[in-house]
Structure 1
Amino acid sequence: MDTLGRIAQRFPLVARARPTCQPLDVRIREVRELARTAAGQTGTDRLPLAAAAHNKAALIASDCGLPDLARSLCWQQYNVYLRARPPGAQTARYALEPVVNLARLRIRGGDGDGAYQLLDTLYQTVRSRTDAVIDGTPVSFRDLTGSEEHRTLCQWLWTVLLADGTRALASAGRWDEALAHTEQHSGIGRRLLDGRQVAVVARCVAGDPASACTVLEDSAISAPWEQSVAACLTVLCLASSARPASSAIAAMVEHYLGLTPAPELLVFRGRLGLTVIDLAGGVEQPDAAQAASRLVGEAVAAGDGYAARDVLAHDGCRARLASAEEQALSASMQSSGLGRGAIPADLMADLLSAVEMSQAAAARNLAIPHSRPVPVVG
């Protein structure tokens, strides 16, 4: 894959809030507190807290390099919530969220094709109220919800399929199919969200930068983050057509440096910053060096595992790190447990205990018997 193709895979870039990656013990403590709070609540207040605890536990397992445990936790959550019949739209959503997370696990693992197929199968099966095999597990959605609730659930799944399905295809470099996917699901609006970014990038990758520029210029761009992404896409279009881009590169860097940092957008800003650096020609270029300094500074200050991993994985950024910066970023990654392949025994016990507590709270709320499945820890 050429340089522009690798850069293109970072798109679509949309400023959505993402969980931070704090030290592992802090994250597990958060899951435990959510589970305890859920156990102490009454009525429907239990469900969102219990579901959040379970979702976060699966994410932690995935982050720590334990995909089998993550998958096991996802299916446990699905089984608990879908045992209520009829579950209703919100409870059904709590059951389906971990199935969506199975697709996200595949994206993380580099299987964009498999992730897209899973999401598409889930959407089509729920929509048609039929049966399917998802991730090797038979599922049935024949009596999932009533008519009005079914429409609400399908609308939510449509947004998931549009955003995550697009991301899955883009991560696999399947831009033509990503574009067809967004068009099929009416996902290309005027704003510079997932669908419209795909419409621009797909044309660039296909060797039609002039058409890509037309789509970009016809976009409705208002938010500062959209202006920054538009500046990146402008440079991508110019680079694809081998046209001079020095002024556009300067504007791109200026937009990036002008964005106001927000903790919940740290992951977005990191991906955006790396895109700016690469489109500007790498850290050896003065404009790119400014962006790299900002990116590294934010990653060090945040102490976030995701941000640290992204910087350390970028050869150009890592090569220009001061010793203290590299030590700080390495420490953030180490404390977060990212990719470690294991969770210390005491923390694992806390995590699984919290999952058990959240499952019990959900089961009590749904008035269903509660069993105690043993997750796969490997």
Structure 2
Amino acid sequence: MSTDSSDLLKTPLCSLHEELGGKMVPFAGYLMPVQYPLGVMGEHNHTRSAAGLFDVSHMGQVVITGEHADRWIETLVPGNIVDLDVNAIRYSMFTNDKGGILDDLMITKRANDLFLVVNAACKEQDIAHMRAHLPDGFTLTELTDRALVALQGPKAAEVLARFAKGGAEAADEMDFMTYQEVSICGADCYISRSGYTGEDGHEISIPADQAEEVCRALLGEPEVEAIGLGARDSLRLEAGLCLYGHDLTPETTPVEASLLWAISKRRREEGGFPGADIILGQIASKDYAQKRVGILPTGRAPAREGTEILDADGAKIGTVTSGGFGPTFGGPVAMGYVNKDFSAPDTEIFLSVRGKQLPARVAKTPFVPQRYFRKTV
């Protein structure tokens, strides 16, 4: 292994990755597998057709305990947490006083507390941010003794249902964005029907000292392959999902980031979160400069992060924030920010790639249909 890993953190599954032939690289301060011998394309396609197992233990797992913790968290995020049912999950964002996004996160309302999953690169600042606003009598606990993995793909829930015991319902009968606690190979696990691939599946929080045993059991099933960061990125890009630090930053608001769906009617009416005046003002006036859009290059050349977006006259109108080849889509796909006047679907734009202006068009996301499991009402 060529990487100098002496100053990098390791997840509880690091030895297993190396045993499986994972190519280990630095990522968010951790030593993580970017791919396995199957290769990024093979791993991507396997997740779309069967089930892939991802190590996401570098992400932060946090528990907040306190009376009406759901009301308190709403002072930091624009999501509707108070009206969540117990064991339901909501995607939201920490915002700053200028309406910018400090991080995006998943919030689960449990019977007596909140369970949060935050991004790896932001977890220290997120925890400090929450502690700075934590009321007397509340506790914040970072779960440093638990691993986190994601089992994703059309066969994922079926596989997990073979192992998850003791829950209120079978793993493959859970609704999208719901949570329960189960036993897997004797380990007390938290499972959430959610993920970052656009496919059905679960995220599984496992006691660190039992994580390898659980993952070996899952990988022993014929449908399951280990998947690295490379395919995780191509899967989430095809699904139109944002990567924090790239598609979302402290300088982008939820309105500009096309995340209005994450702010409920009540929160729009009541406000009460950092930057609410700016965010709600943008919603009301539609007066903002840029917007996140999907981008489809006309040719085969992928548009990478940082590529300038131009109008027909060659004037810069935006920047690509995520881009690459979409294996399932069958061509290059990208996301980026453009001047709002150029944000309508099918608007012709140009990409500055190696000194050439390559034609492209604005497109709706996701590029590949999302296949989350939702119970029919």
TM-score clears 0.5: no
Short-chain TM bin: under 0.3
Question: If the length of structure 2 is used for normalisation, what is the TM-score?
Answer: 0.26
* Bigger proportion of residues as helix: 1
* Bigger proportion of residues as strand: 2
Structure whose CA Rg is larger:
1
